[in-house]
Chain A
Amino acid sequence: DAGVTQSPTHLIKTRGQHVTLRCSPISGHKSVSWYQQVLGQGPQFIFQYYEKEERGRGNFPDRFSARQFPNYSSELNVNALLLGDSALYLCASSLVGGAGEKLFFGSGTQLSVL
């Protein structure tokens, strides 16, 4: 069975542009979370979605938004890109988004903002 899949794997953008990152959860998983990992640091929580509803939001500006589709896949959108948005963006899935569940991560999208 496929794990969490993310696309694209790498992306180069310039400041001020917009980017959309995509994620498909593990089959049967209904909750998706997004994390940002800056080089040399641990991942930081951005959003969690379950059944198309936002369940949690981290300390990120409104330039960051996300949505979840009926097939449980998800998109992360970032507007007005800044140099500091350069990072590995990780998607994670779990069964129903419960507090006791294990999170499984994809390989991430490496975003470079020039």
Chain B
Amino acid sequence: GQQLNQSPQSMFIQEGEDVSMNCTSSSIFNTWLWYKQDPGEGPVLLIALYKAGELTSNGRLTAQFGITRKDSFLNISASIPSDVGIYFCAGRVQGAQKLVFGQGTRLTINP
């Protein structure tokens, strides 16, 4: 079945730093989505990508759909304390609605 490898597993940064994380897949995906999950809550959708090469921003967040369609990247600029949480990538193959999730990247910000 499809597998997503998300890296890094965890990040410890200073407030104000930029953050980069990525996901790679063994399969070609038609859709990539990035979610953020806080403790005790469900994932919240950050960015959705639908075309290879697409670059989409949501405030300080920017995500890209890799041209091979097997990877995606998320960047967070000028991190702030509320960015703390777990970030998940999720991919979807053609014709299917179910999402395959990565293992998550846990972001911790040192004050």
- What is A's interface to B at a CB cutoff of 8 Å? 4, 31, 33, 35, 40-45, 48, 55-56, 58-59, 90, 92, 94, 97-108, 110
Name 18 extra pairs, CB < 8 A, besides A42-B6, A100-B31: A33-B97, A40-B103, A42-B88, A42-B103, A43-B43, A43-B88, A45-B99, A55-B97, A58-B98, A90-B42, A99-B30, A102-B33, A103-B33, A105-B35, A105-B45, A107-B41, A107-B42, A110-B40
**A99 with B92: CB separation less than 8 A:** yes
Could you tell me if A48 and B98 are in contact, using CB atoms closer than 8 angstroms? yes
Please tell me if the beta carbons of B101 and A43 are within 8 angstroms of each other in the complex: yes
Complex interface residues of chain B between 43 and 98 (CB less than 8 A to chain A): 43-45, 48, 50, 88, 90, 92, 94-98
Contacts of A103 in B (CB 8 A): 33, 45, 97, 99
Dominant secondary structure at the B interface = loop
Cβ-defined contact, B96 with A104, below 8 A:
no
Q: Which residues of B contact A (CB under 8 A)?
A: 1, 4, 6, 30-31, 33, 35, 40-45, 48, 50, 88, 90, 92, 94-104
B95 cross-chain contacts in A, Cβ below 8 A: 99
A96 — nearest CB in chain B belongs to which residue? B97
CB pair B42–A99 under 8 Å, yes or no, is no
Cα(A98)–Cα(B97), bound, Å: 6
Q: Which residues of the other chain, B, contact A42 by a CB distance below 8 angstroms?
A: 4, 6, 88, 90, 101-104
Q: Which of B1, B41, B50, B101 contacts A100 (CB 8 A)?
A: B50
Contacting pair A59 B92 (CB below 8 A): no
Q: How far is the CA of A50 from the CA of B2 in the complex (A)?
A: 23
The 3 closest A-B pairs by CB, nearest first: A42-B101, A105-B42, A45-B98
Q: How far is the CA of A104 from the CA of B42 in the complex (A)?
A: 9
Contacts of A35 in B (CB 8 A): 99
Q: In the complex, A58 Cα to B99 Cα: how many Å?
A: 10
Beta-carbon contact of A94 and B42 below 8 Å: no
> A31 near B97 (CB under 8 angstroms)?
yes
Q: How far is the CA of A100 from the CA of B99 in the complex (A)?
A: 11
When the two chains form their complex, are residues B42 and A108 in contact, meaning their CB atoms are under 8 A apart?
Answer: yes
